[in-house]
Amino acid sequence: MLSLARRRVPEATFRRGSLHDVELPRAVAVAGIGECFNYFVDRPISERGLASLFRRIHRALLSGGVLLFDMAAPGRVLGAAPAKTHFEASDWAILVTAEEDRKRNLLTRRITSFRRAGSRYWRSEEVHYQKLVGKAVVMRLLREAGFRVRSLPGYGELRFPRGLVGYLGSKATPGR
């Protein structure tokens, strides 16, 4: 992904690291799209870890800066049974099984991908683990970090599906 990003935006600076401990540069905006704050990247997500992350982002933002992101919340999977879905095009297909552990607020997605390469198909499998965090908890942690915050029903005309919440936080400008 970094190679692709560097080719598309060669003048940008990219860093590889965990959201939870990478040095954040001064910025006017931070965006976390695609439930990235929910993922177990190098350690399980905790309320304490999110609070620390939000404080670090707040410190990195310039006055008037914004934080825009989405997070998966409890209720992401409807019902008790695993949810199965698929996506496809002429030369690829993705099968997804999502299961929510409501006692531990854990979402597990098992993803199987098929991609055509010439006359053959390649299969890959991966498992994603996400900690589901309720909207009230996220809003409280953002306010405690110093953000003015509001939740979003989607991005522009795109509406979020069940159990996905968007957030827009802003760092106050002095004197306001």
Domain that holds residue 119: 83-130
Q: Which CATH number fits the domain that encloses residue 59?
A: 3.40.50.150
Does one domain contain both 68 and 139? yes
Residue range 143-162, pLDDT digits in tens: 999 999 999 999 999 999 99
At 93 the pLDDT is 97
Summarize pLDDT for 56-108 with one digit per residue, the tens.
999 999 999 999 999 999 999 988 899 999 999 999 999 999 999 999 999 99
The total number of structural domains in the chain stands at 2
Sign of CA pseudo-dihedral 7, 123, 72, 145: negative
In a domain, 176, yes or no: no
Are 6 and 64 in a shared domain? yes
Q: Measured on CA atoms in the order 122, 86, 73, 33, is the torsion positive or negative?
A: positive
15 domain residue, yes or no? yes
Taking residue 9's Cβ as centre, other Cβ atoms within 10 Å add up to: 10
